[in-house]
Amino acid sequence: MRRIALFAFAALAVFSASAAELYVPGTLDDPRVRAAEYLSRDDRHFSAIVELRQIGDGIDPLRMPADYQWRLADSYLAFGMRDRAAAIYRNLAATTADPVRMGRAMLNLAEFEYERGYLAEARATLYRVREGLPQTLLEQWQDLLARVLLAEGRYGEAVEILTELNNSDRQSPYMRYNLAVALMNDGRVPQGQTVLDRIGRMVPQNLEELALRDRANLSLGWHFLQSQQGGTAKPILSRVRLEGPFSNRALLGLGWAELAPQGERIAKVQVGDEQPDASPFTTFSTLGILLRPGFVEEDIFKRAGMRAFRLRKASKDEEEALRRALVPWVELISRDPMDSAVQEAWLAIAFTLDRLGAYTQALQYYERAVNVLDNARARMTAAIASIRQGRMVETIVRREIDSEAGWEWKLLDLPDAPETYFLQNLLAEHRFQEALKNYRDVRMMARTLDAWAPRLRAIEQSQTVDTRAPMRPEELIRRARSDWRPPWSDLPIRLTLDRSLSPPVDDRTATAPAAAVLLPSLKLAPPPARFNGPAERARTAQQRIANLREQLALAGAEQAKLLQDMALAELEAQKRQIERYLVEARFALARLYDRQKKGELNNE
């Protein structure tokens, strides 16, 4: 019984081992395809492509199984090789029976084209895939096409796309925000204002929606402020958080809204697909807390570093408006002086005091503003010099220089360098992010080639015979026999027992052959025209690596120059803004000093 069990176990093991080896190359059962899938999930898309290409070496990918094509196309697109991925997707579209997978693949392709700036191609891809797109992917298609149309300035078409499906209850807050932008740019301002107002009063579910709500309130508040509707802008700007990415700009606008014309009441105009209003969102972390009753009446001048004064040229309403405008501005000037809103707040306080007749206080604030702006200009000049030295781009990618994430890579944290903090808006833009991805991928591939170069040199040296120092015959024989196998090694040799043996033959009685066989004269074959051994193949690979390394160096230098130019343009624009503020502050100082010299300044 025990022998039977052991035999059965051995047979089962042999059967299982043989069954595991039976697979069609390129299918999901292929362990190399599974390895490539693992590499892709680990964001090593370049290694996944290499693994897959080794499976179909010398074979057209379009002739491989569908599982292989899906994995290869997804890896190509994830690494940023759009054209190769698109060719495989087109081939799969004619044969696949999975419309959801095909739809997601085409949406990913259009997303890549949109982020890389290929707007016409992205629009064509999305219109082409619209027919037959599963219902579950319609909102994603609608959102992406609307963003493409907005980037192209086709605002009317974007409004039609965002409203034609009558699915406002399923649209994300980001889609509603894009609808508002499209409406206002298409001339339907009241409708756009209504949509923005709804987003500005929504109850956020996460930090991203909270930031979007602040952005909607900031955009709508400044729109009313520029339209001389200060009374309408104040409550909207008051919804913005006291601490957030849009709080500085909102504080600045809240101060100007106190001094701007109050305007008339704005009526809401519905778009036609809205849901009923939700309850207004209230919180004690918004800017409105700064203007709560009793807070303005506190000693605002003491907190601002000024002594109290009575304006002789201002009415009671004007004085009250000034006190209320000082509240957000005093809070604002305590923040980062490199922010343009903070810089403008310094000038706004001094300008308002000057306009209302508080000349001594205005003079003090203009002097402090000049010092702040001078320091900001010096820091900006140092940042520009640092970028010109080429350290910025290298510092940004240094932490993930070996990453193979390709197009899916995202810059999540900034290095501790002064210039990067002045470029936060630029770093968030697709045009900078995509160029940065290209530069990082070029650096990664160059490092891969650099790693292979010494390996190939070692292979070449190990296979090369030094003719200047002839080897001993024993060494030559050992090398010759290292890969040699006897010709009879695969022949089966069997011994049989012969029971009838014949007597030995007497060589003297053996008959001679009838005729001697003449062998042809043997000659040495000529040496081959070229060898293709390991040393020669390694040498050829080294030459290819040298050529590729040169091309990558040129591509890397070009991408680094592009990134540097974008960063310099951004910082130069910020520096010009600071210098404009400096000109205004110094001109106002000169005017006040001139009045002081003439004895025209009042002693408040």
Tokens of 180: 């508002």
| Cβ atoms of 406 and 78 closer than 8 Å | yes
Helix 99-115 × helix 119-129 angle, to 10°: 160
The whole-number pLDDT of residue 504 equals: 62
The whole-number pLDDT of residue 509 equals: 54
Tokens of 54: 């080794």
Q: Per-residue DSSP letters for 590-602? A: HHHHHHHHHT---
Q: How many CA atoms lie within 13 A of 262 on its CB side?
A: 6
The whole-number pLDDT of residue 508 equals: 54
**Domains of the chain by start residue, with CATH:** 172-267 (1.25.40), 294-464+532-604 (no CATH)
Tokens of 483: 């890969």
Those residues whose C-beta lies under 8 Å from the C-beta of residue 362, and which sit 6 or more positions away, are 350, 351, 353, 354, 588, 592
Tokens of 81: 């090789």
The whole-number pLDDT of residue 579 equals: 92
**pTM for the whole structure:** 0.77
Which of these, 48, 54, 53, 46, lies nearest to 34 by C-alpha position?
48
What is the rounded distance in angstroms from the CA atom of residue 37 to the CA atom of residue 31? Answer: 10
Q: Per-residue DSSP letters for 46-104? A: HHHHHHHHHHTTTS-GGGS-HHHHHHHHHHHHHHT-HHHHHHHHHHHHTT---HHHHHH
The whole-number pLDDT of residue 26 equals: 81
Residues (pLDDT < 50) of the chain are 1-2, 4-19, 272, 276, 278-284, 293-302, 304, 307-309, 603-604
For 197, the enclosing helix (H) or strand (E) is: helix 189-200
For 15, the enclosing helix (H) or strand (E) is: helix 2-20
Q: Per-residue DSSP letters for 337-393? A: TTSHHHHHHHHHHHHHHHHTT-HHHHHHHHHHHHHHHHHHHHHHHHHHHHHHTTHHH
| Cβ atoms of 207 and 169 closer than 8 Å | no
The whole-number pLDDT of residue 182 equals: 94
